[in-house]
């Protein structure tokens, strides 16, 4: 069961990292904001599963939102 949990947690963390990276790689604001909304959802689900802390997700979301808002239109 430990190995199963570990694999599940690794997969969820990887999914979260890819979502965050996708926002960082966005080139325009519209795409950035759309990807941010998906990333925020993934972050919240990762918190719900107990893989990261609520504060960590909040910090990521805050920084991503700021980044997406600064992208060129």
User: pLDDT digit string (tens) for 36-64?
Assistant: 999 999 999 999 999 999 999 999 999 99
Once rounded to an integer, what is the mean pLDDT over residues 26-44?
A: 96
**pLDDT, position 23:** 97
User: Could you give the CA distance from residue 25 to residue 50 in angstroms, rounded to a whole number?
Assistant: 27
Q: What is the pTM of this model?
A: 0.92
**pLDDT, position 73:** 85
**pLDDT, position 52:** 96
User: Could you give the CA distance from residue 69 to residue 65 in angstroms, rounded to a whole number?
Assistant: 6
Residue 65 DSSP symbol? H
């Amino acid at each position: 069961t430990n190995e199963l949990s570990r694999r599940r947690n690794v997969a969820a963390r990887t999914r979260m990292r890819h979502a965050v990276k996708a926002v960082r790689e966005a080139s325009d604001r519209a795409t950035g904001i759309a990807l941010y909304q998906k990333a925020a959802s993934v972050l919240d689900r990762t918190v719900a599963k107990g893989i990261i802390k609520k504060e960590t997700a909040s910090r990521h979301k805050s920084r991503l939102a700021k980044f997406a808002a600064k992208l060129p239109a």
